[in-house]
């Protein structure tokens, strides 16, 4: 499969899973936020979908940067600039598609640093970072795709017990405990989408 075709598959699979779970993301955000996470994510990934031709034609790093810029520009909520900055920094870190596990881990680390910087947040604040960081650790430790999916699922489940200290959910304080974080859920969905596409194309085991 060509790099372009792979990029298209990734963008389409991510969009499809976000659309399919938009109501669930919104319901999670209704519980501890303002109930727009499904709408924000759908808007962002639909906007990427509309530009798939232009994005897929670019070299890998520039394609990620353009996709990230699209999220920053099209999504009103906090998640757009956060996911957008992550993609943009991942694109800057990897001019070409990662060719090794170390390169993939390095690319993800750049995305995590971007979210930390933009969100002024760290692990344990009950955010998307609480899935991104364990997934990065699983990849760096040599997990296969099944292990990466399992790491994402376990990390998502762990956000239920966390008290939010960043984002809108932080206003709830202790009352944020007992709910999954919406952004952690969308990150887990996106990780599954990437794993599914890589597996279907025999890119990684
Ligand atoms: P908004 O909070 O502006 O309504 P969304 O509902 O689309 O935006 O996204 C909320 C998600 O964004 C949260 O569930 C959390 O995972 C993530 N988030 C919010 N603020 C931060 C932050 N400062 N750092 C990291 N992630 C954050
Ligand atoms: Mg919201």
- Token pair belonging to 125: 């604040």
Retrieve residue 113's tokens.
């640093």
DSSP 132-201: HHHHHHHHHTT--HHHHHHHHHHHHHHGGGPPP-SSGGGGGGGGGTTS--HHHHHHHHHHHHHHHHHHHT
Residues 88-112 pLDDT 10s:
999 999 999 998 999 999 999 999 9
Helices and strands, counts by H and E, the chain = 10, 0
CA of 14 to the centre of ligand 1 (A): 18
| pLDDT score at 14 | 98
Give just the sign of the alpha carbon dihedral 126, 9, 39, 62: positive
61: Cβ below 6 Å to ligand 1? no
pLDDT at 65: 98
Q: Which of 40, 86, 127 to mutate to test the pocket of ligand 1 (most atoms within 8 A of CB)?
A: 127
How many Å lie between the centroid of ligand 2 and the Cα of residue 66? Answer: 24
Ligand 1 atom nearest 184 alpha carbon: 16
Topology annotation, domain 3-200: 1.25.40
149 Cα–ligand 2 center, Å: 25
**Å from CA of 131 to ligand 1 middle:** 13
DSSP 21: T
In the chain, which residues have pLDDT < 70?
204-205
Measured in whole angstroms, how far is the alpha carbon of residue 144 from the centre of its chain? 19
């Amino acid at each position: 499969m060509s790099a372009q075709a792979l990029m298209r598959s990734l963008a389409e699979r991510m969009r499809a899973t976000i659309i399919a779970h938009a109501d669930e993301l919104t319901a999670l955000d209704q519980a501890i936020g303002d109930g727009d996470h499904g709408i924000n994510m759908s808007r962002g990934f639909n906007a990427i979908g509309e530009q798939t031709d232009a994005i897929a034609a670019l070299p890998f790093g520039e394609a990620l940067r353009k996709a990230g810029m699209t999220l920053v520009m099209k999504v009103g909520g906090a998640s757009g600039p956060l996911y957008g900055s992550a993609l943009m920094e991942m694109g800057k870190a990897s001019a070409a598609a990662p060719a090794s596990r170390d390169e993939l881990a390095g690319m993800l680390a750049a995305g995590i640093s971007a979210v930390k910087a933009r969100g002024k947040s760290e692990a344990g604040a009950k955010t998307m970072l609480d899935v991104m960081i364990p997934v990065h650790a699983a990849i760096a430790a040599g997990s296969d795709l099944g292990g990466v999916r399992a790491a994402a699922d376990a990390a998502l489940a762990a956000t239920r017990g966390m008290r939010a200290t960043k984002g809108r959910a932080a206003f709830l304080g202790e009352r944020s405990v007992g709910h999954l974080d919406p952004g952690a859920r969308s990150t887990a969905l996106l990780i599954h989408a990437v794993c599914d596409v890589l597996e279907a194309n025999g890119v990684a085991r």
